[in-house]
Amino acid sequence: MKDMSIRTSLCEMQGKLFEMSGMEGYDSECFIRTFMNSDLAVGLDSDFDFTHWAGKEYLLERMKEEYPEGFRKQGNTYDGETLYWAGYLYRYWNFYTGESSRTIYKTADAKSVNSMYPGYHTLDIEMAIDRFRQV
């Protein structure tokens, strides 16, 4: 089990990765779906993997190489705060419940996270996750 400082760092890194995808103008739904179902997300889900130390820039470049279909510039790009929160939420959710990124995405896809952001982002992160799981 990862200690809290590593968990927080990984949550922040994933939040910044998602935010960076928006700054580059990528379609947010496509990017998030691709990431949450990728081997890179599987690595972040594990107790020990090189992705824990790779950094957001490396992960974004690797995503572009391995999953080019996830990088469309047409479509809807969410605002940076929503993207950061979504990335942070998804990673924290994995730590909180032990569910895989793929399973989490099936429960809360990009559209639902975007639509719930206004009401949920001010909640305690665990409370927000519990509410998503009840819907």
The pLDDT mean for the chain works out to 92
Contact status, residue 60 vs residue 17, Cβ threshold 8 Å: yes
Phi and psi angles of residue 81, each rounded to the nearest 5 degrees, phi first: -65, -40
Query: In this predicted structure, what is the pLDDT of residue 2?
Result: 52
pLDDT tens for residues 36-91? 999 999 998 988 777 777 889 999 999 999 998 888 888 899 999 999 999 999 99
Query: In this predicted structure, what is the pLDDT of residue 12?
Result: 95
pLDDT > 80? residue 1: no
Which residues, including other chains, have CB under 8 Å from residue 105's CB and lie 6 or more apart? Answer: 32, 33, 36, 37, 90
Cα–Cα nearest to 52, from 1, 102, 14: 14
Question: How far is C-alpha 113 from the geometric centre of its chain's CA atoms?
Answer: 10
pLDDT > 90? residue 5: no
Mean pLDDT of 85-112: 97
Cα-only R_g, the chain:
14
